[in-house]
Amino acid sequence: MRTARMMSAAGLAESFGHVSKRFGDGFLITTVQPFLTQEPADVIHVTDLSDPPSGGGAAPLETPMHAAVYRSRRDVDAICRGHPRSVVVWGTGLESLPLAHGLGAMAGSEVPVHPDVDLISTTDQGEEVARSLGNGYSLVLRANGCFSVGGSLLEALTRLYFLEERARVVLASDSRAADIDWGGRLRHTPPELKRAMAWVDTTFGDEV
């Protein structure tokens, strides 16, 4: 629940969003209730990745989407799903979110937009989302927010934070048309991610 509350403190979820973490043969996922009202006992345990609940009631409708990502990516340990404002604006279209500043690479070198505007509530839809994500770390869901993945809850949250910053920078500049050769700059992303994770933990963890 700490990660969910940090998401809320960072303004990345508003009234819609969920956090999940791989657990045993399945995963744990937050409910549809506001993050600040949820308690650890409310977290839902999905026991089987191959047969997730379809959603409804306390379970997010997009529970099958989380299951599909975990099935397709053994390196993913956590998913943070939110509706940060700048990403939502960008997600009204289909163009991949360009990289306009170095720290934006923490969201992934490529950030595509998944074209389906429906809520991802079925196994087939979830598998399509997993294909759109590929080996990346973040995906914009057209007209419906975004999510980021990571090897830990804090990593997924940090990537989501910088996904929103990446969208904000692009929308505030002419960078979407810029032809930038990032060359060796991206070799600095892994150590920057570690520093950013510590900053996110300190900045928003102290508020929960």
Domains, the chain, ordered by start: 2-205 (3.40.225.10)
How many CB atoms within 10 Å of residue 164? 25
Instruction: Find the mean pLDDT for residues 163-167.
Output: 97
- Token output for 196: 């950013």
Are the beta carbons of 35 and 8 closer than 8 angstroms? yes
Look-up of token digits 């990502």: 69
**pLDDT value, residue 176:** 63
pLDDT at 175: 63
The bridge status of strand 146-150 relative to strand 44-46 is: unpaired
For residue 197, the number of C-alpha atoms closer than 13 Å in the C-beta half-sphere is 18
CA dihedral of residues 174, 178, 181, 184 (deg, nearest 10)? 20
Whole-number pLDDT of residue 144: 95
Does residue 177 have a pLDDT over 60? no
| Mean confidence (pLDDT) of the chain | 93
Do the beta carbons of residue 55 and residue 32 sit within 8 Å? Answer: no
d(CA 76, CA 114): 19
User: Could you give the C-alpha distances from 166 to 32, 125, 171, in angstroms and in order?
Assistant: 27, 26, 9
Q: What is the band of 207 on the pLDDT scale with cuts at 50, 70, 90?
A: low
pLDDT score recorded for residue 55: 74
**CA proximity to 21, closest of 53, 50, 44:** 44
> Bridge partners of 56?
59
Per-residue pLDDT tens digits for 45-100: 999 999 888 777 888 999 999 999 999 999 999 999 999 999 999 999 999 999 99
Model pLDDT for residues 102-150, shown as the tens digit of each residue: 999 999 999 999 999 999 999 999 999 999 999 999 999 999 999 999 9
